Amino acid sequence: MSGDFNIDTAFFLKYLFNPPAIIWKGLWLTIWISVVAQALGVAIGLLIALCIRSKRAWLRGFGKFYVWVWRGTPLLVQLVLIYTGVAAAGFYKYPDIQIGPFTLTGPLQAALITLSLNEAAYMAEIFRAALSSIDKGQFDAARALGMRPITAMRWIILPQAARMVVPPLGNEFTLMIKGTSLLAILGIRELFGTLQQLNAATFRTFELFIIAAIWYLILTTIMGFVQKRLEAHYGRYDQPTADSKAKPGLRSLFSGQR
């Protein structure tokens, strides 16, 4: 590194411990976009997974096509296409949407749509793997009790799938938090966009990006704790005995898939 490389410690400490309001705003934007997009991604992903498992060929075809397209193209490209393409084609002009005190601007709408639909493709694969690992006898027993498909899904199958979905879901959410940094390209002032904006004004690139890294690390670490709690909750009935047939290897299959 060159000699004129200097760190403005005072600047760094000020922005780290006494961040200006716009950083808090950016942080808040990052958090709620991540949470909303992840939640939508989980819901849509489950529907896509159910399509892929459907008896109907056209639903299966649709599900597989969906996953193929969304997983096979970069998120950045999707973001730009959804924002500019959809509006340019005249399908949807992204007018501002007012929800109580919040204004959902066009770029934000495009960001939420893209992140959710993109995430749904990954969640679909996770749900599909979890659902197909559930013993066929569970479906038989639920049906034999007179459960309709939706009842069986809600009370018997999904609670068991949830246990297997939580670890990869944690991964996904971590990726989602980090992935929101791409939204700066739509001019959205989430955490990264805000720091970029500050950078343009102060040229303290290194300090600001260290601060960005620290904030992302804090968020993903908190996420890790939440994940542990969820795993413990869903694993509560998992007391291996000589009888139980654990399915080893499933977790390792999910980890580090992206």
Q: Is 246 exposed, middle or buried (0-12, 13-18, 19+ CB in 10 A)?
A: exposed
Q: Which of residues 106-165 bind another protein (CB under 8 A)?
A: 135, 137-138, 140-149, 151, 154-156, 159-160, 163
CA distance 201 to 39: 35
State which of residues 132, 244, 255, 257 lies at the interface with another protein (CB under 8 A): 244
Would you say 225 or 237 has its CB closer to another protein? 237
Would you say 143 or 178 has its CB closer to another protein? 143
State which of residues 240, 248, 249, 256 lies at the interface with another protein (CB under 8 A): 240
State the nearest-atom distance from the C-beta of 165 to another protein, in Å. Answer: 13
Q: Do residues 66 and 121 make contact, with C-beta atoms less than 8 angstroms apart?
A: yes
SS3 state of residue 243: coil
Q: Do residues 46 and 153 make contact, with C-beta atoms less than 8 angstroms apart?
A: no
- Record the tokens describing residue 185, joined without a space: 């390209």
State the nearest-atom distance from the C-beta of 30 to another protein, in Å. Answer: 34
Would you say 153 or 198 has its CB closer to another protein? 153
Q: Is 94 exposed, middle or buried (0-12, 13-18, 19+ CB in 10 A)?
A: middle
**Residues that contact another protein, how many (by CB under 8 A):** 27
Hey, CA dihedral for 45, 40, 117, 235, is it positive or negative? negative
Does 53 sit near another protein (CB under 8 A)?
Answer: no
Q: Which of residues 154-213 bind another protein (CB under 8 A)?
A: 154-156, 159-160, 163
CA distance 11 to 202: 10
Would you say 148 or 228 has its CB closer to another protein? 148
In the complex, which residues of this chain contact another protein (CB under 8 A)? 135, 137-138, 140-149, 151, 154-156, 159-160, 163, 237-241, 243-244
